[in-house]
A and B are shown apart, each in its own frame.
Chain A
Amino acid sequence: MDPANNSWPSGRSCAVSVSIDVLGDALVARGNGPDRPLKHRSSARYGLYEGAARLLDVLTARGLPADWYFTAAAAADRPHLAERVSSVGHGIGFHCLPMESRDDRARHRLARDLAGGRALLHAITGQPVEGFRMTSSDWHPGVPEHAVDAGFRWSSSLVVDDVPFWLGTSGLLEIPVRHEWDLAQYLAFNLQPAFPPGQGRIASSRTVFGNLRAEIAGAARWGTSVVLRLPADVAGTPARAAAIGDLLDWALAQNAWMCSHRDLLDRCHAGPPDPQPHAYDRFLAWRAEVA
């Protein structure tokens, strides 16, 4: 799908999808028993206890779809949360943990993780698990084939574009994200260990939601798509969740198509082929030239 060919359903101006990352504390938990550090872990678990439910309420009040990307650990920790999200019709996707290295062993482990995560989420929710998300910089040229082998039909991982595109000839669709749509980029903070590494100040709500409104206005102007990326632990506080609700109301007023990632997959299957190869295809071709 190419922006020049974009025609969203019913004359809508752009596509806006909501994605929620439910990571839990898989990235921060260290140690076991009474000596296990609790403070950092507790911040990460806020999404499991409070944030996810509040974001679900925001969506339910507006009748809007969303895609929820659970880590295996978060889904196993709170299976009733994944069940509840699934039972009201939202999409369930798998969120891979970042790779600790880029060697061949780690790459093969990724293939196993994709299959295992999908099976776990399917067992908990009973619904097909067709999408996954992973760290963009962990992506390597073999990922699409691994993902298709594991049964996935789309990824929402690469921070590269503002319209969905097919990943080579793998049959896997990429629904790309961008850092400027990610609330973690603006709002995530931890004192020790430091995050972000330079400990830049938490952005003001005026900056975050002003920028996001500009993103949706720009998408409407140029016919592109926006994938809002909401980490449940960061985005699900009372005031931020309310501001997200206001943003979604505003997007509806801009005549945006509020869609799920499955909707985007169906749309791309039905749409015309790209008039020119996507950058991803050229990457594969030019990479072969220099090899």
Chain B
Amino acid sequence: MTGPGRVCLAFDLDGPAGDQLLSGRLWDNPSHFCLGAYGPDRAVPRLIELLAELGIRATFFTPGWVAERWPKLIAELAAAGHELAGHGHRHEDLSVLDPARQRDVLARGRAAVADAAGAEVSGFRAPSGEITTRTLELLVELGYSYSSSLRDRDRAYRHECGLVEVPTKTLFDDYAYFAYHTGPDYPAGLDRVASYSDTFEAWADEMRLGCRAGAVSATIWHPKVIATPGRLHHLETMLRQLSADPDVRFGTCSDVAEEVPDGSGEQ
């Protein structure tokens, strides 16, 4: 990718999907379920409203199970011009699944999101855990055109299998600063919630300077974490300031992926 960089507001719309759902323990833990459901129920409607005011389109990586359970919300996101993309079916760790099971999860998740959104799904982000070269090949086989999972570059690039990578950075993961819950504990040592003002200031610096350096700043934000009222207070301020900066361009992950030249092989 050449030219100015982009800020991609990318959200992992996990809802209550994840380890507790996969193990079945979720169904004895109403507190954990409701904390997850806060994302689609409370946080995403606020994000739709705020992003509409600012004229910014975002990408929502969504497990298929969440799309099946909240189809109206997914349709609202699509109608508002946001991109819906894949994120497994129940937020599986793909690296522990054999290829046949991975294929099933990726296909099922993609179909569920596409059905709810009424649109094609071209993007994918790895849920918790790892992905492998085999996962990338399966994504191509199943019709995905890009992944936003790896963290090795500033600019988008193409894997040898032809899949585009829209890289992200751990520093843009809101879990690293704000996520906190008990039973199960996160973070494992129950370290404190970080300063909102310091965190958003650091993100704004990376996004502003990243755009000037031609870098992609793709966030790993979770609606249930980033879109609580207090954090939205800072998010709104930051986005208004960035929107007024002539060097900052916003776009979806798909917008960035489409700018990568055709042809296979890592560049």
Write out, one digit per residue, whether chain B residues 150-191 have a CB within 8 A of any chain A CB (1) or not (0). 000000000000000000000000000010111101011111
Please state if B30 and A217 are interface contacts (CB–CB under 8 Å). no
Binding site for A on B (CB under 8 A): 24, 27-35, 37-38, 41-42, 46, 69, 178, 180-183, 185, 187-198, 228-234, 236
Contact of A136 among B182, B187, B198 (CB under 8 A): B182
Please state if B196 and A280 are interface contacts (CB–CB under 8 Å). no
A145 at interface (Cβ–Cβ under 8 A)?
A: no
How many residues on A have C-beta within 8 angstroms of the other chain's C-beta atoms? 52
Please state if A279 and B185 are interface contacts (CB–CB under 8 Å). no
A140, A179, A212, A290 — most chain B CB neighbours (10 Å): A179
A169 at interface (Cβ–Cβ under 8 A)?
A: no
Please state if A218 and B228 are interface contacts (CB–CB under 8 Å). yes
16 contacts between A and B (CB under 8 A): A136-B183, A158-B31, A160-B31, A161-B42, A179-B181, A186-B192, A196-B189, A198-B191, A207-B192, A218-B229, A218-B231, A218-B232, A278-B34, A279-B33, A279-B34, A282-B37
Q: A159 → chain B, closest Cβ, in Å?
A: 6
**A189 to B, closest residue via Cβ:** B192
**A225 to B, closest residue via Cβ:** B229
Write out, one digit per residue, whether chain A residues 124-140 have a CB within 8 A of any chain B CB (1) or not (0). 00000000000111111
Please state if A3 and B180 are interface contacts (CB–CB under 8 Å). no
User: Which residues between 142 and 199 of chain A lie within 8 Å of chain B, taking CB atoms?
Assistant: 158-162, 178-180, 185-186, 196-199
A105 at interface (Cβ–Cβ under 8 A)?
A: no
Chain B residues contacting A218 (CB-CB under 8 Å) are 228-233
Chain A residues contacting B195 (CB-CB under 8 Å) are 203-204, 206-207, 210-211
Q: B38 → chain A, closest Cβ, in Å?
A: 6
Contact of A162 among B42, B187, B189 (CB under 8 A): B42
Known contacts A161-B42, A279-B38, A186 near B193 by CB under 8 Å: yes
Please state if A180 and B192 are interface contacts (CB–CB under 8 Å). no
Give the top 3 A-B pairs by smallest Cβ distance, nearest first.
A198-B189, A137-B183, A218-B229
A270 at interface (Cβ–Cβ under 8 A)?
A: no
| Bound Cα distance from A159 to B30, whole angstroms | 10
Please state if A217 and B233 are interface contacts (CB–CB under 8 Å). yes
A201 at interface (Cβ–Cβ under 8 A)?
A: yes
Known contacts A198-B189, A199-B189, A279-B34, A221 near B233 by CB under 8 Å: yes
Please state if A197 and B192 are interface contacts (CB–CB under 8 Å). no
A17 at interface (Cβ–Cβ under 8 A)?
A: no
Q: B46 → chain A, closest Cβ, in Å?
A: 6
Q: B119 → chain A, closest Cβ, in Å?
A: 24
Please state if A159 and B233 are interface contacts (CB–CB under 8 Å). no
Chain B residues contacting A180 (CB-CB under 8 Å) are 178, 180, 193, 228, 230
Contact of A198 among B69, B180, B190 (CB under 8 A): B190
Contact of B31 among A137, A186, A224 (CB under 8 A): A137
| Bound Cα distance from A218 to B178, whole angstroms | 16
**A168 to B, closest residue via Cβ:** B30
Chain A residues contacting B37 (CB-CB under 8 Å) are 279, 282-283
Chain A residues contacting B35 (CB-CB under 8 Å) are 159-160
Please state if A196 and B230 are interface contacts (CB–CB under 8 Å). no
B30, B178, B191, B232 — most chain A CB neighbours (10 Å): B30
Please state if A200 and B30 are interface contacts (CB–CB under 8 Å). no
A215 at interface (Cβ–Cβ under 8 A)?
A: yes
Chain A residues contacting B236 (CB-CB under 8 Å) are 221
A141 at interface (Cβ–Cβ under 8 A)?
A: yes
Chain A residues contacting B183 (CB-CB under 8 Å) are 135-138
| Bound Cα distance from A215 to B69, whole angstroms | 29
| Bound Cα distance from A282 to B180, whole angstroms | 23
Contact of B192 among A201, A221, A287 (CB under 8 A): A201
Please state if B229 and A215 are interface contacts (CB–CB under 8 Å). yes
Please state if B34 and A214 are interface contacts (CB–CB under 8 Å). no
Q: A284 → chain B, closest Cβ, in Å?
A: 8
Please state if B234 and A196 are interface contacts (CB–CB under 8 Å). no
Chain A residues contacting B32 (CB-CB under 8 Å) are 137
Chain A residues contacting B27 (CB-CB under 8 Å) are 286-287, 290-291
